[in-house]
Amino acid sequence: MPFNFKKTDIPEIILIEPRIFSDNRGVFLEIYKQSEFKRYGLEKPFCQVNHSRSKKNVLRGLHYQLAPQAQAKLVHVVSGEIFDVGVDLRRHSATYGQWVGEILSCQNRKMLYIPEGFAHGFCVLSDIAEVIYHCTAEYSQAHEQGVIWSDNLLNIQWPIKNPVLSDKDMVLPSLAQAEHNF
C-alpha cells in the first residue's frame, strides 16, 4: 500500500504519509492514487491543482468556499516547511471551531487532507516554501470566504509571531461573524 492514512484529533482531517522509494538516484513517491484514496473513503475527485511559493513568516488563510462550491484539499510541500491548519466550520459537528495543525515539509513528505466544511491556512517556517494543493472544486470568487487567522475563539497556536499577511487576509472576519453554510 503506497499510503498510510491516519486520523487526526478531528477524524475527518487525515494525515497521509506516502511510501517513499529511495536509492542512489533520489526518491520517488506517489502523491495521489484514486484507488487507494477511494479505498479509504476519500472518493471525491480532484479537479484543480494550485501551487504557491511563499517566504518565511507568510501566513495564508484561513480560507474556504461556501457550498455548493466547497472544496476538500490535499496539501503537500515540495520545498521548505509549513505549519498547516484545518478548522472545522460544520455548525452541528462535535468539533465545530476546533483545529488541527501539522508540520508538512519536503523532508517528512507528509500530506494533509482537509475536507469540505473546513477552513484551511498555513504559515511558512522555512526561508521559502512551495506548496501544492489539489482541490475537489474549482476556485469560485463568488463562494470565497475566510476567517481571521488570529481569532481568539479558535486560539490557533501558530508557531510564528508577526506573520506577513495579504491585505485581504488582514481583514477577514472572526468565526462568529463569518458566513459559512456547512
Q: Which residues are catalytic?
A: 63, 133
Place of cell 521548505: 80
Whether the per-residue pLDDT at 2 is higher than 90: the answer is no
Range of the domain at 81: 3-170
Averaged over 122-150, what is the pLDDT? Answer: 98
Total tally of structural domains belonging to the chain: 1
pLDDT tens-digit readout, 11-45: 999 999 999 999 999 999 999 999 999 999 999 99
If pLDDT is split at 50, 70 and 90, which confidence band does 1 have?
low
- Is residue 180 within 8 A of residue 103, CB to CB? The reply is no
- Grid coordinates representing 85? 491548519
Looking at the domain assignment, is residue 176 inside a domain?
Answer: no
Residue 164's CATH number: 2.60.120.10
- The Cα 112–Cα 37 span in angstroms is 13
pLDDT tens-digit readout, 73-94: 999 999 999 999 999 999 999 9
Can you give the pTM of this predicted structure?
0.95
